[in-house]
Amino acid sequence: MVIATAFNLKALKMNKLFLSVILIFLIHTAHTQVRSSAATISYDYRIDTLYSDTLKETRLIKVALPEEFSREKTYPVFITLDASWMFEPVMVTVKQLTEAKVIPSSIVIGVQSNNRSKDLRMGSDGGFTTASRAFCHYLTKELFAYLSNNITMPAFPVLIGHSDGAVFSQKAMVQPGQPFRAVLSLSPQLEKGLLQEIKTFTEQNFPDQFYHFIASGTKDATGRLKAVIVEDSLFKTVQNPNLHLKSAIYEVDHFAVANRALTDGIAFVFEDFLEDNDWNEALLDSLRKAGTNPVDVVKAYRQKVKRIYNLDIIPREEGVFSTAFAILSNKKQVEDFFAYKAELLGRDKFYNTSFAQALELVKAYEDALQYWNNNLEDPNGQTGIFFYFQRPLNLLMNQLSRPKEAIEFVKKWSAKRPEFALYLNYTIARYLVDKKLEKKEARRAIDYCIENFKPNGFFKMEDAQKLKDAIK
């Protein structure tokens, strides 16, 4: 027999209330639950092995190639020490900066150390130990031979090191004949004599541009933070036109310095790769005042990238090509610009429309009309929106003042492309009414709009009726 006390009855009532709340909650969540599925972002790379005659052992090498990799091309090559944990952050950063067009397509190499203390640390005198000197030879000679023979000749080698790797990277940097063109040393430390070696390094003649970036954190080891502060003081005294030096201190600890500094350091190295565009009004004004030939703007950029980074670059449409386009000033420049652009890129689907807009820019309206018409007649032309019909029609109506041709244009394309007939007829009717021209044609066009009206974003029925009422 079950005897329920007053306490038990209260408890039962509370439990019933609790279960009711749970049931309501479950019913509610059943209706509001968001469906989701897992997604993964991955970056492909491979692992190679290389036997070193110097080290007398086999080493692992991680290799990440750009998607469009070809052995016939040359690429910047980022070589990062401590591949076991530095390779992935460098690979991801390079991938993101490449997609953002901050840097060119690049190769990332991760160099594995079986014993990093043996490979990377200096001796008590601040110099290489026998082991770290051997590792330096492996890195600068054997690895480069392997890259040249099995992947591609590095066009612009960049060395990246963190902590002991940062010290090693600076020591490697100051060696005569070293192959690197840029060195990122993240959380370095000034071993004995290294500051003087760096100072001597900054005073030498650089036939090519060289970039050196260092970084530490406010929560980094005291000696490492001090090293960056001291080196920055040295950097400020350097006046070497081909040597680019930069330091940064972040609000992070020793380990976070690498992740925080990679983007800034890599972007700094490729600051001369970044393209100008037509948003830089001050640049455009200076080019116009100097009477700069637009084609020369593109060629100068390509020559600069070739000289500094040893790369044959095709500029981007939204980059230096847009700068050149914005300063076109006459028909000859337009023709030369598009001939050079076609030489580099070929003729894309926007060739006729871009050419037409450039000719309008320099007020070569007759030629512009021809290219707009070329686009419309081309089976592969851009005709999917009214814009491509409106531009030549505007030229006929306004800049060229040829209303009869404008009327024929509307009739022709209304028949060929009936989906744009409302827009075409309303446009010509409004023009003819405003200019008090061709009343019969104006009436015909507006009657078409009224009789065939469908709701659209171009005009309303009352707009069409007002135009009709205006025809006297």
* pLDDT exceeds 60 at position 225: yes
The pLDDT tens digits for 27-66 are: 444 444 566 667 777 788 999 999 999 999 999 999 999 9
Q: In this model, does residue 397 exceed pLDDT 70?
A: yes
Q: What angle do CA 368, 372, 374 make, to 5 degrees?
A: 115
Q: Is the pLDDT of residue 24 over 50?
A: no
Output Rg (C-alpha) for the chain, integer angstroms. Answer: 34
pLDDT of residue 36: 66
pLDDT at 444 over 70: yes
Q: Give the pLDDT mean for 370-383.
A: 95
* Alpha-carbon torsion (145, 147, 152, 156), positive or negative: negative
Q: Is the dihedral of CA 87, 92, 97, 99 positive or negative?
A: positive
Rounded distance, CA 427 to CA 445, Å? 9
User: pTM of this prediction?
Assistant: 0.83
Looking at this protein, which amino acid is placed at residue 2?
V
Q: Distance of alpha carbon 234 from its chain centroid, rounded?
A: 33
pLDDT (tens digit per residue) in 130-169: 999 999 999 999 999 999 999 998 999 999 999 999 999 9
Report, as an integer, the average pLDDT of 413-433: 96
The CB density around residue 42, as the number of other CB atoms within 10 Å, is 5
Burial 158-169 (b: 16+ CB within 10 A, else e): bbbbbbbbbbbb
Per-residue pLDDT at 345 exceeds 80:
yes
Q: Which of 277, 275, 327, 282 is nearest to 301 (CA)?
A: 275
Average pLDDT over residues 172-194: 97
Would you report the helix, strand and coil content of the chain in percent, each value rounded to 5?
55, 15, 35
Instruction: Identify whether the C-beta of residue 205 lies closer than 8 Å to the C-beta of residue 238.
Output: no
Residues above pLDDT 90, as percent of the chain: 88
pLDDT at 33: 58
Say yes or no to pLDDT of 284 above 90.
yes
Q: Which pLDDT does position 34 carry in this prediction?
A: 62
- Compute CA 323 distance to the chain's CA centroid, rounded to the nearest angstrom: 16
Q: Is the pLDDT of residue 472 over 80?
A: no
Is pLDDT of 312 > 70? yes
Q: What is the pLDDT of residue 338?
A: 96
Two structure tokens written together for 294: 């637009």
